[in-house]
């Protein structure tokens, strides 16, 4: 079958790839609803005449989009997601067997502890624009936020940390009716009505009491860090990883508010955001070049100190989040890569995949059988002011795992990994090499490579990855030109 090798896809322009990196909001392929909205925008602009001030037109557009987005993203149907009792579930390297009640509870608690970042509305306008929501265009940025948040959770709280209030907000539903107990599938359903609270606790503050009122000093410190991490992603101009900051950083890549962002562009935006944040100075982000992780470049980025004793590996390096943009097929995911993706998701150092369906970003966190587990950013929630003491945390955590078939995954994606120190990084490289080499026997082209040395030693320009990010401008004929034989390979 015809497909794109992960490395060669790095040299394709954004317009040549079938992903939506370079597409504008409500483009011609967005469907009938997008077309109707675009017509409404045009009619609103025409009503003010050709000599209307641009600011007035922008205000009208934002109002129309605000109404449209509230209708489209302002509600959600919490349908059940079925899970097989016969197959294990993998979540960020941990394995859960749902035929055991204790594993069902552990999985639910683990999943609901992951930070969930979705569309928001009613925040301060994005710099230089009238945008007060990212509904309809910011889903990839939200997925990138979630991937970074998972890396920061690992760094500051560890993989075994779970949110103490996670099990208070919902619970697993009973076995799906109509099936025998031997073949039934546990599922998630909307939370049942909460039981009455003790007289000593009022019902109203339950949503706000996400911060534990008491506990050991260690537990209180972990909860403080948990709240701090979430505050870094709130939609305020001052937040280092909020939507305002990410959009501002995206301008250097030719992006602006309202544009579609792709997984490769988002990876570099995340890197820039971490580089410019002093609060996470102990963490660095590395973005691979041409689907290759250069160990020498990671070592330089991690900041090994000259003459420092090697007895304490954690003192030598910063923690590193490694992001690998790649393309795993042409128009759709090449099924030859599925087993390798599964093996990588089983690594405890993997912090997930940002990708999703075509023009519909999702954050993949694990899998069961031939279905990916994901967190979905396509739910519009109101802005939360994290500067307020005891701000509510429930809207930053999701209790309902979703699943989608591997075959529906968009081939354009970015995979993330985390290493706390040089020892973990070496172990990660060893595991990645084993997985990728084993997969390459079947796939011919590995998803990506891990090599010794620096990129300069291989004749790569230091800024080649930045050049890939620039939005390609050209004629319509350039955008739809046929790929050459060098861009596509037969697997």
Q: Considering Cα of 154, then 158, then 163, then 167, what sign does the dihedral take?
A: positive
For residue 331, which of 448, 446, 411 has the smallest C-alpha distance?
411
Catalytic residue among 277, 378, 421, 454: 378
Residue with tokens 């590395």: 286
Q: Number of C-alpha atoms within 13 angstroms, CB side, residue 170?
A: 21
Neighbours of 207 (CB within 10 A): 13
- What is the crossing angle of helices 422-443 and 295-302, to 10°? 160
Catalytic residue among 15, 134, 376, 410: 376
For residue 365, which of 336, 411, 309, 404 has the smallest C-alpha distance?
404
Residue with tokens 């009973």: 174
Neighbours of 435 (CB within 10 A): 20
Judge whether 177 and 397 are in contact, CB under 8 Å. no
Q: Considering Cα of 299, then 326, then 269, then 252, what sign does the dihedral take?
A: positive
Is position 297 annotated as part of the catalytic site? Answer: no
Instruction: Give 104's DSSP letter.
Output: H
Residue with tokens 């995979």: 415
For residue 224, which of 107, 382, 391 has the smallest C-alpha distance?
391
Exposed, middle or buried, 87 (CB in 10 Å: 0-12/13-18/19+)?
middle
What value, to the nearest 5°, has the Cα angle with vertex 412 and ends 406 and 414? 95
Instruction: Output phi, psi for 252, to 5 deg.
Output: -70, -15
Catalytic residue among 37, 62, 139, 340: 139
Residue with tokens 């519009």: 380
Judge whether 406 and 333 are in contact, CB under 8 Å. yes
Q: Number of C-alpha atoms within 13 angstroms, CB side, residue 109?
A: 15
For residue 297, which of 146, 467, 429 has the smallest C-alpha distance?
429
Judge whether 417 and 321 are in contact, CB under 8 Å. yes
Judge whether 416 and 352 are in contact, CB under 8 Å. yes
Give the span between the Cα atoms of 70 and 381, in whole angstroms.
9
Q: Number of C-alpha atoms within 13 angstroms, CB side, residue 55?
A: 1
Contacts for 244 with CB less than 8 Å, ≥ 6 apart:
123, 124, 126, 127, 235, 236, 237
Catalytic residues: 139, 376, 378
């Amino acid at each position: 079958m015809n497909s794109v090798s992960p490395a060669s896809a790095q040299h394709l322009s954004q317009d040549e790839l079938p992903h939506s990196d370079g597409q504008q909001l409500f483009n011609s392929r967005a469907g009938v609803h997008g077309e109707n909205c675009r017509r409404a925008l045009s009619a609103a602009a025409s009503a003010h005449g050709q000599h209307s001030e641009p600011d007035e037109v922008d205000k009208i557009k934002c109002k129309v989009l605000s109404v449209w987005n509230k209708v489209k993203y302002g509600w959600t149907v919490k349908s059940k997601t079925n899970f097989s009792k016969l197959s294990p579930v993998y979540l960020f390297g941990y394995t859960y067997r749902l035929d055991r009640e204790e594993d069902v509870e552990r999985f639910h608690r683990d999943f609901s502890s992951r930070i969930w970042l979705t569309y928001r509305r009613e925040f301060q306008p994005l710099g230089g624009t009238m945008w007060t929501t990212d509904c309809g265009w910011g889903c990839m940025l939200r997925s990138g936020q979630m991937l970074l948040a998972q890396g920061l959770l690992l760094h500051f709280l560890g993989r075994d940390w779970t949110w103490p209030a996670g099990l208070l907000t919902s619970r697993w539903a009973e076995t799906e009716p109509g099936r025998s107990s031997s073949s039934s599938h546990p599922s998630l359903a909307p939370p049942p009505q909460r039981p009455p609270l003790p007289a000593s606790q009022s019902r109203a503050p339950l949503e706000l009491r996400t911060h534990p009122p008491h506990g050991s000093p260690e537990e209180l410190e972990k909860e403080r860090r948990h709240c701090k991490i979430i505050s870094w992603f709130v939609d305020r101009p001052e937040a280092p990883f909020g939507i305002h900051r990410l959009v501002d950083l995206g301008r250097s890549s030719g992006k602006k508010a309202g544009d579609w962002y792709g997984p490769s562009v988002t990876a570099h935006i995340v890197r820039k955001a971490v580089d410019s944040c002093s609060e996470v100075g102990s963490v660095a982000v590395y973005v691979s070049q041409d689907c290759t992780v250069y160990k020498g470049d990671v070592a330089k980025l991690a900041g090994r100190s000259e003459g420092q004793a090697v007895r304490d590996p954690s003192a030598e390096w910063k923690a590193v989040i490694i992001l690998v943009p790649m393309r795993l097929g042409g128009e759709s995911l090449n099924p030859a890569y599925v087993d390798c993706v599964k093996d990588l998701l089983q690594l405890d150092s993997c912090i997930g995949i940002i990708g999703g369906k075509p023009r519909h970003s999702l954050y993949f966190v694990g899998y069961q059988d031939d279905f990916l587990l994901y967190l979905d950013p396509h739910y519009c929630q109101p802005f939360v002011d994290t500067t307020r003491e005891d701000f509510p945390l429930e809207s930053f955590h999701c209790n309902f795992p979703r699943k989608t078939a591997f075959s529906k995954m968009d081939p354009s994606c970015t995979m993330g990994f985390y290493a706390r120190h040089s020892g973990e990084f070496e172990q990660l490289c060893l595991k990645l090499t084993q997985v990728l080499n084993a997969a390459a026997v079947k796939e011919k082209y590995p998803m990506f490579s891990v090599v010794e040395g620096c990129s300069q030693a291989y004749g790569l320009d230091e800024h080649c990855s930045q050049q890939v990010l620039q939005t390609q401008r050209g004629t319509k004929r350039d955008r739809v030109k046929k790929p050459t034989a060098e861009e596509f390979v037969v697997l």
